[in-house]
Amino acid sequence: MRPASLLLAIAIATPAVGGCATSIVSLKEGPREYVATDYDNVLRAWTRTENLIALSELENFLTATATFESWDFRWAYVVRYVQDYRLTIDQRKRLLDKALEETRQHHQFFVAIYGGDRRWNDLTKPDSAWIVRLIDEKGNETAPEEIVGIKRPNALERTYYPYASPFRRAFRIRFPRALPGGRPTIAPSAKWFGLRFAGAQGNTELVWQLVDPAPSPPGGAVKAAAP
């Protein structure tokens, strides 16, 4: 396959949901006013795709797509889920509380990859071609605390994460929100964070640009709002 043909094939195989790499996102918590139809836009905002291609060898070593399941994303996800499954108000509250509480404990990504030899793309195996790290602009680098393989994405996963096709391996990758000493794995002042896939065949990074954090008042004090 010629280089141009290879690039065209990858472009066709890569869903548009991952094409919003320039979106700027915020890790700020708080209530949202989403409706079910907002989900697709929120999904695009929190999803990234990158390709690791060796044109000299006419080979796509890796295509990785990941959605960061942030506070903002989970709020939109729950609203869509409640609408789809016609849940009650009480069920919605319990589901939303549980989903948001998880974001206070972990940073979690839904990831789907393909490329190269499929046997080497199982991120749960010690002989995987790739190791994954959570990184940020301040130089923090964190290993996953858990990688769960999704052997056969179900109807919900295929609908809510449309890039999770039968041709890809899918995973949920969870990182600690803070290290044992208390240091956050994504620095509060970081301008971006991301996932790094690295191995013998090269490396690539999926990056989420962050809204600039508000500067802290002198001395770290928080000023009370005026009445």
State which H helix or E strand residue 5 sits in: helix 3-13
Q: What pLDDT is recorded for position 218?
A: 41
- Tokens 């802290």 belong to 216
Q: Which residue has the tokens 């990184």?
A: 135
Per the listing, tokens 């749960």 go with 124
pLDDT 10s digit of each residue in the chain, 227 long?
A: 344 333 334 433 444 454 444 689 999 999 999 999 999 999 999 999 999 887 656 678 999 999 999 999 999 999 999 999 999 999 999 999 999 999 999 999 999 999 888 888 999 999 999 999 999 999 999 999 999 999 888 999 999 999 999 889 999 999 999 999 999 999 999 999 999 999 998 999 999 999 976 444 344 333 333 32
Residue 79 in domain: no
Number of domains in the chain: 1
Question: Would you say residue 225 lies in a domain?
Answer: no
In a domain, 163, yes or no: yes
- Residue 141 counted as domain residue: yes
**In contact, 29 and 177? CB cutoff 8 Å:** no
Residue 151: per-residue pLDDT:
86
Return the pLDDT at 57: 60
Q: Which residues contact 122 (CB under 8 A, 6 or more apart)?
A: 128, 149, 169
pLDDT of residue 106: 96
Q: Is 39 inside any structural domain?
A: no
Q: Are the C-beta atoms of 62 and 113 separated by less than 8 Å? A: yes
| Number of Cβ within a 10 Å radius of residue 71 | 17
Full residue range of the structural domain in which residue 193 is found = 3-23+45-68+107-212
The full 3-state SS of 109-138, as one line of letters, equals EEEEEECCCHHHHCCCCCCCCCEEEEEECC
Q: In which element (H, E) is residue 153 found?
A: none
User: Which region, left, alpha or beta, applies to residue 182 given φ > 0 means left and ψ of -120 to 50 means alpha?
Assistant: left
Distance CA(100)–CA(105), nearest Å, equals: 9
Residue 149, domain member (yes or no)? yes
Report the half-sphere exposure of 4 (CA within 13 A, side-chain side).
Answer: 0
Q: What pTM does this model have?
A: 0.84
Q: Are strands 106-114 and 59-68 parallel, antiparallel or unpaired?
A: antiparallel
Domain membership flag for residue 35: no
Q: In this structure, what DSSP letter does residue 191 have?
A: S
The reply to whether 32 falls in a domain is: no
